[in-house]
Structure 1
């Protein structure tokens, strides 16, 4: 089955984003080095943990549970493992698409997942109105964005908020909003990381 931007339409943004990422992995050509296989396994297993339980149960990641055996595999064995992982993903994603109507009707089941790091950051951005932005707000973003590019942008925000002797207030305000826009774009790509549990 082919996957496109409509394949996972109807699911919440985080779930659709994670399914899109798995679909991207499922389409990738086999790699023949251990580092690439390791990155694939880490991504697939990490994203799988973030999916709602009903979807998680449809997508097996059994082939990813190889311990460290892939570190000692020959290139052709690594390519075979890659193919097995992506074939398993395609089979699971096909089941999700075929069952999409039933899945979308199960609101409680779809809510049974962790909050993503991206969602947590986006919620914080929505929580504060423009006139409430402060150094404290930026510190909170830095904490919630740890391990991602959001943390660095949040530190940039902190410096902007404490800056004195501002000569051009309009330019200063524009830089704050540009930084917030960058944080939002980064957060949109952080749905494969946990930020808590329950929505």
Structure 2
């Protein structure tokens, strides 16, 4: 049991450290020696858990990036008891208001990976696509709930509005990386409010 716990702790150490390095340096620029150095693990201990960087990359997406998006955007959208337009605005602006300086400077980890690997890493692309699809579907469901309750216009294309919200958010996270202040975030939050209001009754 102790050995299993130690093995799990070592695996978690590798995954968490790799996430931080990928986030800071990029996936392609991070090497296995970089990860071993940061974790202070021997070669044998490292390769006991992962055969290569590709395996680590998949785990980082499945474990850390998925959790970030689920906790920040997907799970909150399930709480449709209150006003839906207010829920949408809260989900897309509260995160921005609470980002650390580092998160503002480095952008969205999922979006960074999409931009870096493009179409080249099929395994990564499939996992990331499923994650964005899960987000889109949950967002569409929330908009549909708002339409049924008379809070959102019936003619609104729920899936199209969901994609617009996600792409606008991911876009501003990316563009913010070249700014030294929050001016673009402030303008985004204002325009997000206008867009959501245009969907509302």
TM-score, length-scaled by structure 1:
0.24
Q: Report the structure number with the largest CA radius of gyration.
A: 1
Task: With a CA cutoff of 8 Å and minimum separation of 6, indicate the structure with the bigger relative contact order.
Answer: 1
Q: Greater share of helix residues, 1 or 2?
A: 2
TM-score, length-scaled by structure 2:
0.24
